[in-house]
């Protein structure tokens, strides 16, 4: 069978221009008896070479044989590929000893994992129909290309998570050969547990790919934490590493608060600063907007976030408000949009003190003094009224007591139990002694006028004035007063027998 297809393959770097080889897929060794003492030597059983280096394959012949070329095949059978022949063009392949008739060793430079396989040195001979047939082949050299793994590539799920949530990070490396590879994970230098790495063939099926994944639960402090994927392979003199900053997968929402710089209520026309504190957030992508009663305000100074010692960010936004009467009760809202998330809003109200009226002191200290003076006046008036009331009560008590002492008093005395008294008891008049005490000094104002009936009242000349310490009072019925009595005076009727 023709073997032109045996020359097609990735090792050629161009189409081979040569005669057809007959029966290239046949078998085991010599294509014809070596009756003339011909020998083909391929001494290498296995050869290992690092990727990117040059591969040397040895083949020598001895003795006489039929005419025909010597070439190299990768693989045997229908799937074989021509690596070198004496008439083709192979840019990566050169003869070790050029133009030699006994040494057909070759060099293949810049080998890669795809160059792994079994290589055969073959001697062909001419057939009657001018087709090359396999005369003899070597026992084959198994070539393995040791390929270093590519630098680790780190990736994650693609969305940020908040503290307390988990994130999965993957480490990948490929193009290595042989298959044996070791993967270790570290967080901030400390080993952590990860899944077993998955080893799969690369598309060329001559090297391998590795994928390893670790899952960690993030905290706020992980904004400065780092994951390390460490790979060990026989081709590596030292482990290679890939790193991943957990801050790329972490989102720390801000804490937002709003407060004025003066306690409420504030004076009219005073300038009040409302400050929005946005603290402890990551990443630093944040937008702050102010609203007054739901309407967006224009803020000239746009602050920039500042990184704190923990690696998080802080920001303070300030807006100035003049406390006019129209703004009393107005609400000022700070709206924060962090990392394209839902807005966070906090609100504070502006309360204004009652405006100063005409005639009142405008300044707060003067108003306070006026209020204090008013209090003093009110307290003084109350104290004065109380003092006057107390004085009036004391005076009334004193006056009453004085009146009681100076007004006349009558003390009735029972007569002594004597024989004379016994006799008087049978007297129809039955007089009783009475003490009439009158104030001699105030006789003109509070004097009891004793009017003596002298037959009949003819005028003031018939009146007799008397001060009596003790008189006999008659039990006779009370007679009308012979003279009008003063208001408030006390009247006593005394009968005195004529001498």
| Residues 410-456 pLDDT 10s | 444 444 444 444 444 444 444 444 444 444 444 443 333 333 334 44
What DSSP assignment string belongs to 286-348?
EEEEEEETTEEPP-S-----EE-TTS-EEEEEEEEEE--GGGTT-EEEEEEEETT---EEEEE
Whether residue 111 is found in the same domain as residue 164: no
Whether residue 46 is found in the same domain as residue 91: yes
Residue 113 pLDDT: 85
Question: Which among 249, 273, 292 is the end of a domain?
Answer: 249
Residue 482 pLDDT: 52
Distance CA 262, CA 272 (A): 7
Residue 265 pLDDT: 92
DSSP letter, residue 399: H
Whether residue 138 is found in the same domain as residue 22: yes
Residue 413 pLDDT: 43
Burial (CB count <10 Å: 0-12, 13-18, 19+), residue 183: buried
Whether residue 333 is found in the same domain as residue 286: yes
Whether residue 398 is found in the same domain as residue 445: no
In Å, what is the CA distance from 269 to each residue of 260, 351, 446? 15, 12, 76
Q: Is beta strand 21-22 parallel, antiparallel or unpaired with respect to 132-137? A: parallel
DSSP run (H or E) holding 358: none
- Start-to-end C-alpha separation, the chain: 202
**Residue 47 belongs to domain with CATH number:** 2.60.40.10
Whether residue 185 is found in the same domain as residue 272: no
Residue 477 pLDDT: 55
In Å, what is the CA distance from 396 to each residue of 136, 399, 407? 158, 5, 16
Whether residue 157 is found in the same domain as residue 126: no
Whether residue 135 is found in the same domain as residue 167: no
Number of domains in the chain: 5
Whether residue 398 is found in the same domain as residue 412: no
CB within 8 A of 397, min separation 6: which ones? none
Distance CA 59, CA 107 (A): 11
**Regions of the chain where pLDDT drops below 70:** 1-36, 204-205, 355-371, 403-499
Domain residue limits at 81? 4-146
CB within 8 A of 237, min separation 6: which ones? none
Question: Which among 214, 249, 284 is the end of a domain?
Answer: 249
pTM: 0.55
Q: What confidence tens digit (pLDDT) does each residue in 14-45 have?
A: 333 333 444 444 443 444 444 468 899 999 99
Three-class SS of residue 130?
coil
DSSP letter, residue 407: S
Whether residue 230 is found in the same domain as residue 280: no
Distance CA 32, CA 134 (A): 8
Whether residue 8 is found in the same domain as residue 135: yes
Distance CA 191, CA 123 (A): 58
Whether residue 235 is found in the same domain as residue 313: no
Structure tokens at 486: 């003063």
């Amino acid at each position: 069978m023709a073997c032109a297809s045996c020359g097609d393959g990735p090792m050629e770097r161009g189409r081979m221009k040569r005669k057809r080889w007959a029966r290239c897929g046949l078998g085991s060794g010599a294509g014809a008896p070596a009756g003339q003492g011909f020998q083909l030597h391929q001494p290498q059983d296995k050869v290992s070479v690092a990727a990117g280096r040059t591969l040397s394959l040895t083949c020598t012949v001895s003795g006489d044989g039929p005419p025909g070329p010597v070439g190299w095949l990768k693989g045997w059978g229908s799937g074989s590929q021509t690596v070198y022949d004496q008439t083709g063009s192979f840019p990566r392949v050169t003869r070790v000893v050029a133009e030699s008739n006994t040494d057909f060793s070759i060099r293949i430079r810049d080998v890669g994992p795809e160059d792994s396989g079994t290589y055969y040195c073959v001697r062909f001979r001419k057939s009657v129909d001018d087709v090359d047939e396999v005369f003899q082949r070597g026992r084959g050299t198994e070539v393995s290309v040791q390929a270093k793994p590519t630098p680790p590539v780190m990736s994650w799920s693609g969305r940020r998570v908040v503290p307390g949530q988990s994130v999965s990070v993957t480490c990948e490396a490929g193009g290595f050969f042989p298959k044996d590879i070791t993967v270790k994970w570290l967080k901030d230098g400390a080993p952590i547990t990860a899944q077993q790495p998955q080893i799969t063939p690369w598309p060329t099926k001559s090297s391998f790919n590795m994928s390893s994944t670790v899952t960690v639960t993030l905290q706020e402090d992980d904004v400065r934490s780092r994951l390390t994927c460490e790979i060990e392979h026989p081709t590596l003199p030292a482990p290679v590493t890939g790193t991943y900053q957990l801050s790329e997968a972490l989102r720390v929402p801000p804490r937002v608060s709003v407060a004025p710089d003066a306690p409420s209520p504030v004076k009219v026309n005073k300038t009040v600063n409302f400050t929005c504190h946005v603290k402890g957030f990551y990443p630093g992508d944040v937008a702050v907007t102010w609203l007054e009663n739901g309407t967006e305000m224009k803020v000239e100074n746009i602050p920039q976030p500042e990184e704190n010692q923990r690696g998080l960010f802080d920001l303070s936004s300030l807006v100035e408000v003049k406390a006019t009467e129209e703004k009393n009760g107005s609400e000022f809202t700070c709206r924060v949009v962090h990392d394209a998330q839902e807005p966070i809003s906090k609100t504070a109200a502006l309360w204004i003190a009652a405006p100063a009226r005409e005639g009142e002191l405008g300044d707060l200290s003067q108003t306070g003094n006026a209020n204090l003076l008013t209090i003093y006046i009110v307290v003084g008036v109350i104290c004065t009224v109380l003092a006057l009331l107390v004085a009036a009560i004391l005076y009334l008590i004193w006056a009453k007591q004085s009146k009681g002492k100076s007004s006349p008093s009558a003390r009735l005395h029972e007569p002594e139990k004597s024989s004379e008294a016994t006799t008087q008891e049978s007297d129809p008049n039955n007089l009783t002694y009475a003490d009439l005490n009158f104030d001699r000094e105030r006789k003109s104002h509070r004097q009891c006028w004793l009017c003596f009936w002298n037959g009949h009242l003819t005028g003031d000349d018939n009146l007799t004035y008397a001060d009596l310490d003790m008189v006999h009072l008659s039990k006779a019925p009370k007679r009308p007063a012979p003279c009008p009595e003063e208001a408030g005076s006390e009247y006593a009727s005394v009968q005195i027998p004529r001498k």
